Every structure is written in C-alpha cells, then in structure tokens.
Amino acid sequence: MAKPTGFLEFERETPTRRAVESRVHDWLEVYEDFPVSHLKQQAARCMDCGIPFCHQGCPLGNIIPDWNDLVYRDKWQDAIERLHATNNFPEFTGRLCPAPCEGACVLGINSDPVTIKQVELTIIEHAFAAGWVKPQPARVKTGKTVAVIGSGPAGLAAAQQLARAGHGVTVFERDSRIGGLMRYGIPDFKMEKRFLDRRMEQMTAEGVVFRPGVNVGRDIDARELLAQFDAVCLSGGATHARNLEVPGRELEGVYYAMEYLPMQNKRNAGDEIPASRFISAEGKRVIILGGGDTGADCLGTALRQGAREILQYEILPKPPASRSSDNPWPTYPNIYRVSSAHEEGGARDYSVMTKSLSGENGKLTTLHAVRVEFVSEDGRQVMREVPGSEFAEPVDLIFLAMGFLGPEKPGMLEQLGVELTERGNVRGDENKMTSVPGVFTAGDMTRGQSLIVWAIAEGRAAARGIDQYLMGETLLPIN
C-alpha cells in the first residue's frame, strides 16, 4: 500500500472549481488544476484493502489500489499501463463518471472515500503530456471486417479493442462528428471536446475508419452492412427520450434536453445554426423537468446563455444528506449532491408532478403542477397527490430531462429484426451477440440508460465476443 498511515494523516481533498462569476461566461471546464503533491496525498489514503470493494464498484474492474500506490511512488508510466489495462478512455471517465468506485471504497464505511476519480484523471493527463499515449496498431491483420454503429463510449471502446486485435473496423455515426453523447450531449464545461479529438487521432492511427454523417437504417439499409462486413456491433445508445404525456405538451417552447444541448455544442464547435432554429434561454424563465445529470447539464447551459430565472423540478423526494438504512455501503450512495451547475444558480424543488401546460397563440406560458408524496402501501411505495397543493408557474421554456426508454426502434433495429427484451432493449447473449448471427450489441442499446463506465465495459465485452466469433478464439480481456 502507498502509505500505511495515509488514511489517518490526510483528509479527502478534491480540485477546486473556477469562480462562478468567471466560469458562467465561458464554456471551458470548471475545474482548476490539482497540485501533484496534493494528489499523492490523496493516493496515499488508499488502504490497499484485503478485499478491494472499489474493484466491484467499478464495472470496468479498474485495478485501483495498484495505481494509487504507483502514483504515490512517482511511477507514473507503470500507473498508466495498469490503468489502460482495463479502461480505454480514462480521460472520459475521469471527467464524466459519477465514480461508483468511490461509493464502494472501504474507507467510506466510516470516513470520506479516496478521491479515486481525480487520481485516474491525473494519471492519463500526465501520460498524454509525457507522450506515453501512442497508437497501438495491430502487428498482424486478420482480414476480417467489423462495422460499429454508434460512436459513443461503447462503440469507441469496441472499435479500439477490435482494431488492436487486427480487424478492419469502420465506425458509423449519424451525427456530423464522432463521439455520440460525449460529443453532443455533454456540455463543454464538463468535458472540452479537444480531449475527444485527441483520442480520435490515436484511433485513426490504429486503423479505425470513421464515417460520420451516415444514419444506418435511413441513409443505408442495415442489412447491407451484413453483406459488406463479417460482423456488426450495435452501439447506438438509448436515445428514445421519455416524453411528458400531459395536455399542452405540443406548445412551442417545450423541448427534449437532447434537442437543446446539442445545439450549443455545435455552435461551440463552429457550426452555423440559424437563429430561427437555435434554442436559447437568454432572458427567459426556464423550467427543467428532471433532477439528474442531464437536467444539471441543461441548467449550466441555460445559465451560460443568460437565462433570467431557472427552476428544476424532480418528481421524487429530495435525497438525504447521507446514506439511508436501505442504501448501505458498498452500494452507490443515493444522496443529495451539488453539481457545478447547481453552484452557479437556479433553484431545485422536489416531489413535484406536472399536470398540464398552457399558453397563448400556441406558445407556452404556464406550467401547472401539484405536490406529491410517497406512502407505503402493501409493502411498496406509492405516489399520491397532496390535496390542495396545486400551483402554477409562468414559464417561457421547458426542457424535458426525464430519462430515456431504450433505443429507437424504427430504421436499423426493425431492418435487422433483432430480438428485444421486455424493456425494449436489444437482447444479447453472454458474448453480446443478438438473435441475428454476426450482429452484436453493446452499451445503453442493450443495458438501457446507464453510466459511461458501463458503456466502455460493454464495448470491451462486445469486442471480445466479436473476436471470438470471427477467429474461434480470443485473447482480448473479459473486462
């Protein structure tokens, strides 16, 4: 272990965020640099437990105690090799993952957990700066070809693993740039896209071919890919957004979060979007429905656009400040959190259910809602409206950030005829192959809406299954 008494000597510390009054006027990442001396102290807090539950908490199985020890001992090159052994893209997870590993940290039983996520991010950025992250093209080509549909973290992880195994890999993406949700759903203040571009350069040098602007299922029949490629990997995500089924939903001014967020990212990237089509919160009163990360992304974006006032409503009760009795360690802690966007402004309210929307001349003006409570009935929690709690709020824009219902069915999935689960996701076997031979699936398309670490783990698992299918054996890792 790094330092036997480290967890007794040092308190948990995380990077500071840039001043609110500064960062709300730009789209740069919010965190300031974290001194290496402080980071080594944080790595020293790792106890190298006899049973490291952080491994179980991380879907990728990251070997966390090992690289904590290596960072403390200044063995940075060994640390990045250990980190890359399980995670293709630690620069993405180090910025975007909610860190279930920290929720499972043994130190977190009675103290603050190790700052695993920041150690991970610093290792990869140190490695890039030192020039250690180089292309790893396959020494021998197999002559087999694979089409990967979707360029989010699952698709990219599968593509990189398969290319390094010697297969010819082509990634199809319906948007104009590669990256999927990371490119257009994640605001730049959470991850600047130069980090995504940097990794794309490495993958291109490894032989991966990227074909953005191709909507498989519309621009090209998905069945054609089965004739052109030896295997296909479906990694298009869970992009079917949950709708708000209330009167007035059709009014102008009500948008899905994923109609809103990509527009700002595209403008930041230099794309021309006419003012008549661009959704801006400038000078407007905004209500965000949904209290998760996507809702917070809408909040931070609307604040930077100059919204006059912002409310964020969540139908569930406010989470507790610390773990409840039914949320014990090492499960992921369902607790009240304050994101960088919440620091910047806006107000949050809980146990609120929208009943209807109203407007004038086809334009949204008012949200009508009611308070709800959750009561135990026959051993389960039931939601009930609180009598007399109805209220109305004036509003100019509403953003729906209420989650997703699985992959889109028309087009690609219908053409391929893959079997779906009872929840509407693409069904895959233990090797990630669908009901159609040679067609595999990975990420949210098969899991449903989930975490970036799960997406990368799924992509790596699908790559192993595809390699086994194509070659009869595989040396690619399980995780």
What confidence tens digit (pLDDT) does each residue in 441-462 have? 999 999 999 999 999 999 999 9
Backbone angles phi, psi at 299, to 5 degrees: -60, -50
Question: Coil, strand or helix: which one is 53?
Answer: helix
Contacts of 423 (CB under 8 A, 6+ apart): 406, 448
Instruction: Report long-range pairs for 278-281 (Cβ below 8 Å, ≥24 apart).
Output: 279/255, 279/397, 280/305, 281/305, 281/306, 281/307, 281/310, 281/397
Quote the pLDDT of residue 146: 98
Contact call for residues 464 and 433 (beta carbons, < 8 A) = no
When pLDDT is averaged across residues 48-75 and rounded to a whole number, the result is 93
pLDDT band at 343 (very low <50, low <70, confident <90, very high): very high
Q: What is the pLDDT of residues 276-318, one digit of tens each?
A: 999 999 999 999 999 999 999 999 999 999 999 999 999 999 9
pLDDT above 90 for 160 = yes
Q: How many helices (H) and strands (E) does the chain have?
A: 19, 14
pLDDT above 90 for 240 = yes
Mean pLDDT of the chain: 96
Quote the pLDDT of residue 458: 97
Cα(191)–Cα(31) distance, rounded to whole angstroms?
10
Quote the pLDDT of residue 479: 73
DSSP letter for each residue of 154-202: HHHHHHHHHHHTT-EEEEEESSSSS-THHHHTS-TTTS-THHHHHHHHH
Q: What is the pLDDT of residues 195-235, one digit of tens each?
A: 999 999 999 999 999 999 999 999 999 999 999 999 999 99
Length of the chain: 479
pLDDT above 90 for 470 = yes
Cα(118)–Cα(13) distance, rounded to whole angstroms?
10
Can you give the pTM of this predicted structure?
0.96
Question: What is the percent of the chain where pLDDT is above 70?
Answer: 100
Q: Provide the 10 A C-beta neighbour count for residue 208.
A: 24
